[in-house]
Amino acid sequence: MENLISNIKEVKVHGRTSDNRAPLTLFWTASGFECNVSGSQLWVEVEVNYTNFEPWFSYTINGDWIGRQMLTKGRYWICLFRGMNPEKIKNVHFYKDVQPLGGEENSWIQIHSLRYDGVFFQVEDKPLKIEFIGDSITSGEGLFGARQEEDWIPMFFSALRDYSYLTAKKLNADYRVFSQSGWGLYNSWDNNPNAAIPKYYKEICGFMTGKEAIALGAQEQNDFLAWQPDVIVVNLGTNDMCSFEQPEWKNPQTGETHKMHKNADGTYCKEDVALFEKAVVDFLCLLRECNPKAKIIWCFGMLSLDFQMPIVNGISNYQDIKNDQNVFYLQLPETNDNNVGSRQHPGPICHAQAADVLSAFISSHLN
């Protein structure tokens, strides 16, 4: 039997996307679909678009990671399982393994149809919802590949080895990821003020500007009422820290320049740090506006703790202004020679350590 995914009401959708399910468009890391299905086999019909960087996907069956592969352009069928006991109900979860990649105006995975010989059953919501907001760490960059690998390619990203997946699994939570490699809170690693996560938080995938992406709803306003997280985990500031070491950014169209500065003695320029701290306050206000009841945990430290005080100060300033007692700071384990991955990023061990710390912290505050 073959059916459009939009017609199978028991299928559960994960991640930010539009209301259109014909087909289902996946933009973000860990976005995808989940189903409980009997039968001996299950196939998925995908349609894939990109310019330079092909997306990857992973999938689990009954919670175990079964497959991971690159997706090439086009529309075609992929078998997720075959030859299994037709009487037993299998939980199948399809994950987009890679973030919406920078510079790609039209990049996504679409799910058109499922082919099956069983029956679908409802997937229940988990008791907790978590939203993870971050940069390359939260996108799972560096979680595949040997330590010496430096190529910036989708093959070295993973949605199922990173701390967000591991934390959600430990806490039995549904989760979403909103992250971009190289981006920051106030500006990117190379001082680009346009590559700042808060600028696009209210939209589904607003920085994707291609005509096709816009037609698919990328720049539509996200429906926050439809999915309210109990916990928001922010892991931003690493790229802002790096930008102090980089040359100024110049807008090729306007000639505008932007730079975060260090003083002659190597300390951070006070005026620039103040801009970052204000950005912390502004983003927390935005998060609270969109998610009035969520506990917000700002994490930092997996790639150096050098810039944690501006984050702590920004959180403190926000709490003084808003008297919001549901915002917290959490230091995460730092990458070292024993837990580093590829591209000089945290490896699987470091992410597992971070998930242990974060899940324990969330549990203690929920209780």
Residues 160 and 283 in one domain: yes
Whether 165 and 301 map to the same domain: the answer is yes
Pair 229, 320 in one domain: yes
pLDDT of residue 102: 65
* Domain end residue (candidates: 121, 146, 164): 121
Residue 73 is given by DSSP the state: S
Indicate whether 105 and 212 sit together in one domain. no
Same domain flag for 11 and 112: yes
Q: Where a domain ends, among 57, 89, 121?
A: 121
Count of domains forming the chain: 2
pLDDT tens track for 263-315: 999 999 999 999 999 999 999 999 999 999 999 999 999 999 999 999 999 99
Domain region containing 321: 128-366
Query: Rounded to whole angstroms, how far apart are CA atoms 358 and 362?
Result: 6
- Same structural domain for residues 198 and 233? yes
Same domain, 182 and 104: no
Give dist(CA 257, CA 265) in Å, integer. 24
Residue 259, domain CATH: 3.40.50.1110
Give yes or no: residues 58 and 203 share one domain. Answer: no
Q: Identify whether residues 85 and 176 lie together within a single domain.
A: no
Task: Answer yes or no: pTM beyond 0.85.
Answer: yes
192-225 burial, b at 16+ Cβ within 10 Å, e below that, comes to bbebbbbebbebbbbbbebeebeebbbbbebeee
- Percent of the chain beyond pLDDT 70? 100
Residue 258 is predicted with a pLDDT of: 96
CATH code of the domain containing 103: 2.60.120.260
- The residue from 55, 89, 121 where one domain ends is 121
Instruction: Note the pLDDT of residue 103.
Output: 73
Residue ranges of the chain with pLDDT lower than 70? 102
Query: Are 58 and 152 in a shared domain?
Result: no
- Do 186 and 98 lie in a common domain? no
Tell me: the pLDDT tens digits for 69-113? 999 999 999 999 999 999 999 999 999 999 998 677 788 899 999
Residues 34 and 132 in one domain: no
